[in-house]
Structure 1
Amino acid sequence: MTFSSTRPEDLFFDAARKGDVAYIKELIDAGTDVNIRDGRGFTPLILTTYEGHVEAAKLLIDSGADVNAQDFGGNSALMGVCFKGYAEVARLLLQHGASPDLQNGNGGTALMFATLFGRNELVKVMLENGADKTVQDARGLTALDLAHQQGNEEALKYLQASPH
């Protein structure tokens, strides 16, 4: 492949958003850093998981992508996945060492995102993978508080039953 005036990094971010496994592999093979960041701190893994691209995420992880990288707001790939509702991608990230208790700039965690946005399968997945339901955000709220505020009975059930 010959690169034109477009920087390889920009091509990498675009390929990650699209989940273009073949192109991602080509860019990695050409020496592009899998942990590069764009202007908002997004890595290719954060971008590809936010779009739900499982195979692209596997390739990036297998190529050394940091599963706990956080953007400039402190958000991780796992937080984005919990916001969007991609349980399969969340399991993949957790299997490869993603921390369910990382906190973003507002103190939010992946469990809080799942709870706040009604991603109840992900609430369960986070708790099964050791997420700490007692972590407080910048306002002093826990995932249980958020479930109460949202009237999310299913999440409340999972959170109240969890020993974590």
Structure 2
Amino acid sequence: MTAKPPTPADLALSDAVGRGDADAARAALRAGADRERRDGQGRTPLLLAALADRVAVAEVLVGAGADVNAQDARDDSAWLVTGVTGSVAMMRTLLPGGPDVTLTNRFGGVSVVPASERGHVAYVRAVLAETDVDVDHVNRLGWTALLEAVVLGDGGRAHQDVVAALLAAGADPALPDGDGVTARAHAERRGFDPVADLLRRAESQGGEGPRVGGGGR
């Protein structure tokens, strides 16, 4: 079945998202733009706004009832991509839309997993504090957020802070990957001594490790 061609209002909304123009987005919606219209890759206006971190436009779309959980052809959603961009502002803008924090991306991960891999410290702290996302969720690679922070991180200050935040939120340091290797063993193999120390202390305490770095969001 051939998709209906976009209306002038649909085109105006697409343009508004691209420019980050909240007033124009609001006007396009009033003119009848389809807030769930998908592009050739299955992306909705809200997903495109999230990808570009157009927070003001996203606020308009969420207020108009746009679906924060709509996934595209790559299984990305507006909510899931906040874990990639690390935008705390976008994350909080989407919260009133009722994001499904159990929704997974094409790798089987929830939003905190890619955020941990990328060292998005503020995002990891915020999403753990403000949602009930599963800190020990295991993706299709057999990795938790903690394992991703070590295996795909660089061992620097940002990833140290991510590891500390995950441990403080109750992440289990003893959970191994699919080959039975723990996060601490990976850290030791890679020479990430500060990370290995955090994990070693957490294991000895049976859970939460000490926090590293500054506080706040």
Q: Same fold (TM over 0.5)?
A: yes
> Which protein is bigger by CA-based radius of gyration?
2
5+ long unaligned stretches in structure 1 = none
5+ long unaligned stretches in structure 2 = 172-217
Question: What residue is the counterpart of 2:111 in the other structure?
Answer: 110
How far has the Cα of 1:101 moved from its partner?
A: 2.6
- Deviation per CA, 1:71-92: give whole Å up to 9, x if none: 1111111222221221111112
| Matches for 1:23-34 after TM superposition, within 5 Å | 23-34=24-35
- Structure scoring higher RCO (CA < 8 A, sep ≥ 6) equals 1
Query: Structure 2 CA distance, aligned partners of 1:127 and 1:40?
Result: 30
How far has the Cα of 1:23 moved from its partner?
A: 1.8
Query: Structure 1 CA distance, aligned partners of 2:6 and 2:61?
Result: 21
| Matches for 1:79-90 after TM superposition, within 5 Å | 79-90=80-91
Question: What residue is the counterpart of 1:15 in the other structure?
Answer: 16
- Conservation of the 8 A alpha-carbon contact between 1:100 and 1:111: no
| Count of aligned positions | 160
Runs of 4+ with deviation above 6 angstroms? none
Query: Structure 1 CA distance, aligned partners of 2:32 and 2:6?
Result: 16
Query: Structure 2 CA distance, aligned partners of 1:75 and 1:118?
Result: 20
Q: Does 1:121 align with 2:116?
A: no
Query: Structure 1 CA distance, aligned partners of 2:6 and 2:38?
Result: 16
TM-score by length of 2: 0.68
| Matches for 1:4-153 after TM superposition, within 5 Å | 7-8=7-8, 9-128=10-129, 129-149=131-151, 150=153, 151=155, 152-153=159-160
Query: Structure 2 CA distance, aligned partners of 1:92 and 1:21?
Result: 13
TM-score by length of 1: 0.88
- Conservation of the 8 A alpha-carbon contact between 1:15 and 1:23: yes
Report SS of the residue matched to 1:113.
helix
- Conservation of the 8 A alpha-carbon contact between 1:100 and 1:126: no
Comparing 12-21 and 54-63, the one that deviates more: 12-21
RMSD over aligned Cα, in angstroms?
1.9
How far has the Cα of 1:142 moved from its partner?
A: 0.8
- Conservation of the 8 A alpha-carbon contact between 1:16 and 1:24: yes
Query: Structure 2 CA distance, aligned partners of 1:126 and 1:100?
Result: 10
